[in-house]
């Protein structure tokens, strides 16, 4: 194991020679990269590029065919279930029906990694749940049933579960895919704000829309056909050449009329 300083210097995630195969088909080619703390990382790429698979491997939902993934320098298989869940929170692309739970009950489930099956639900847990509900702006809904909420509210409730989990790293798989533009902003702004306070928290989010990703993320990882095409700051990625390499269609880039940030568009 690493001592405190050593762990702080290393990147949070180190991915080395990661491969994923389904039968004969290669979903992830040998892939090596590292992801740092304190940033929002966007995983982008066309359909079938392997970005969702990569996220699932990080979340330990899928076991890789070859290669290694280290979290804080420690290989993933060595982490025990709850210890890992205290470090990493994951939200699947399709969140399940919450089965009659109220918002507060659902969010409280996020404390499982801390108290386990039998431990007491203490003040600390209560505070974490309160905080998560407040930060996602769900205080008015906390006793409503999750299944009766609107899509955006429901997505925020699941985000609150992850926040209550008090993990160092959040993994989000297309958290906005079923939402309209206003609700997309609502969710992504919460995500955006997580890393701002210098909390050292890392977020890795799979996003379909390149401009949404550029607006939300500090750092983009672009995949195509299971291979790493580019990694870097948004301004580095959003160039006509790189975008063409990622998406395979000719694309242009122009500055945002108000913020001046680069915007990609199809030619």
Partner 1 sequence: MAEMVLATGGRRRVAWTWLGLCALAGLLILAALLRRPDLPGDPETVRRLQEALLWHSALPRIATALLAGAALGLSGALLQRVLRNPIADPSTLGIASGAQLALTVCLVAAPGLLAWSREGVAFAGGAAAVGLVIAMSWRRKLEPVSVVVAGMTISLMAAAASTALILARGEYVLSVFIWGAGSLHQQSWDGAIVIGTRLALGALAAAALMRPLTLLAVDDASARSLGVALVAVRVLVIALAVWLAASVIAQVGIIGFVGLAAPALARISGARTPSQILWRAPLVGALLLSIADSLIQVSAGSSGDLIPTGAAVGLLGGPLLLWLLPRVKTTTPPQAMLRATTPRRAHPWRMVVMLLAGGLLIGLVTLTLGRNGQGWLLAQGDLFADLLPFRAPRTLAAAAAGALLGAAGALMQRLTGNPLAGPEVLGVAAGAGVGIAVVILLVDTPGTLLLMAGSAAGALGALVFILLMGARTGFGPERMLLAGVALGCLCLAILSAVFAAGGWNTFLLLGWLAGSTDRVGGLEALLLAGATLLLLAPLPLLARWLAILPLGTPVSRALGVPVVGGRLTLSLLAALMTAIAAFFVGPLSLVGLLGPHIARLLGFGGGVAFLFASAVIGADLLMLADWLGRTIAFPYQIPVGFFAALIGGPYLIFLLQRGDARHG
Residues near partner 1, by CB under 8 A? 59-61, 80-86, 88-92, 94-102, 105, 109-110, 112-113, 116-118, 145, 147-148, 165
Compare residues 136 and 242 and give the one whose CB is closer to partner 1: 136
Q: What does each C-alpha distance from 109 to 79, 81, 97, 157 come to in angstroms?
A: 21, 15, 14, 11
Q: Which two tokens stand for residue 95?
A: 């969140």
- Minimum Å gap between C-beta 103 and partner 1 is 12
- Minimum Å gap between C-beta 238 and partner 1 is 31
User: Can you tell me the distance from the alpha carbon of 164 to that of 166, in angstroms, rounded to the nearest whole number?
Assistant: 5
- Minimum Å gap between C-beta 80 and partner 1 is 8
- Minimum Å gap between C-beta 136 and partner 1 is 17
- Minimum Å gap between C-beta 250 and partner 1 is 33
Residue 48: closest CA among 68, 25, 66, 80: 25
- Minimum Å gap between C-beta 245 and partner 1 is 31
- Minimum Å gap between C-beta 219 and partner 1 is 23
Compare residues 82 and 256 and give the one whose CB is closer to partner 1: 82
Compare residues 104 and 215 and give the one whose CB is closer to partner 1: 104
Sheet (strand 169-173) strand order: 88-91, 169-173, 202-206, 40-44, 219-224, 227-233
Q: Which two tokens stand for residue 11?
A: 């990147």
């Amino acid at each position: 194991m690493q001592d405190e300083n050593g762990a702080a210097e290393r990147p949070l995630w180190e991915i080395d020679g990661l491969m994923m195969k389904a039968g004969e088909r290669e979903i992830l080619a040998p892939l090596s990269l590292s992801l740092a703390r304190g940033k929002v990382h966007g995983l982008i790429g066309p359909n079938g590029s392997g970005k969702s698979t990569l996220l699932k491997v990080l979340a330990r939902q899928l076991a890789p065919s070859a290669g290694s993934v280290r979290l804080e320098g420690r290989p993933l298989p060595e982490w025990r279930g709850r210890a890992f869940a205290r470090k990493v929170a994951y939200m699947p692309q399709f969140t399940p029906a919450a089965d009659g739970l109220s918002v507060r009950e659902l969010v409280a489930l996020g404390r499982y990694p801390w108290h386990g099956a039998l431990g007491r639900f203490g003040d600390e847990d209560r505070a974490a749940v309160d905080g998560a509900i407040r930060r996602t702006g769900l205080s008015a809904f906390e006793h409503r049933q999750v299944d009766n909420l609107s899509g955006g509210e429901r997505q925020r409730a699941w985000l609150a579960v992850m926040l209550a989990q008090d993990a160092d790293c959040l993994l989000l798989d297309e958290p906005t895919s079923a939402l309209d533009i206003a609700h997309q902003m609502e969710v992504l702004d919460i995500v955006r704000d997580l890393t701002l306070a210098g909390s050292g928290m890392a977020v890795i989010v799979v996003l379909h829309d390149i401009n949404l990703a550029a607006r939300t993320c500090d750092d983009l990882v672009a995949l195509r056909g299971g291979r790493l095409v580019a990694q870097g700051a948004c301004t580095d990625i959003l160039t006509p050449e790189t975008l063409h390499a990622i998406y395979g269609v000719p694309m242009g880039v122009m500055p945002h009329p108000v913020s001046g940030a680069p915007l990609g568009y199809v030619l």
